[in-house]
Amino acid sequence: MAILIMAAGVFFTRGLTVATVNDAYRTLTPLFGVAAGVIFAITLLCSGWSSSIVGVLAGQSILEGLLGSKTNPWFRRIIIRVINVVPTSVAIMLGVDPLTLLVYSQVVLSLLIPLPLIPLIYYTSKRKLMGDFVNRHSVTVVAIAVAATIVVLNAVLLVTSL
């Protein structure tokens, strides 16, 4: 969110067109100094690490659940890394612009967020399943409102993009 807010505040309000991440870095430095460019670069790096780690950990859990048994953690990590890295590497080697790839991946991700979110809200609101750990009614109401907002915003995105 911080990256998007910064981009809107800096680039859009000044009418600047930024086509690549390199352009963003080069535009930030004269406007706000070297520190702003360095912070932007570090933020992108940390964002990438974070999403990669979360993706691998989630992939490991899913793979373990699908296999129905525990496998060597290093084996799972290697399989998940291959699944994560190979398609992106192939796309870049085929000449797909990395920024375009990033934008499309984020759009797909935003559309997929409700898939685990809706069942998660449903199951965590069931006392029979969750026992003492069931969500309070107020938490469930807020979660439904947030999920509905995400679904509506995704629908708006799709309608306005087509």
Q: What is the pTM of this model?
A: 0.51
Over range 108-131, report the average pLDDT.
85
Phi-psi region of 15 (alpha: psi -120 to 50; beta: other; left: phi over 0): left
Q: How much is the pLDDT for 69?
A: 66
Distance CA 91, CA 133 (A): 44
52 pLDDT exceeds 80?
no
Determine the distance from the C-alpha atom of residue 78 to the mean position of all C-alpha atoms in its chain, rounded to a whole number. 21
Q: H helices within 1-126, ranges in order?
A: 2-7, 21-32, 34-67, 73-93, 98-112, 114-124
Interval 83-95: pLDDT, tens: 778 888 898 899 9
Is 71 in a helix, a strand, or coil? coil
H/E element holding 95? none
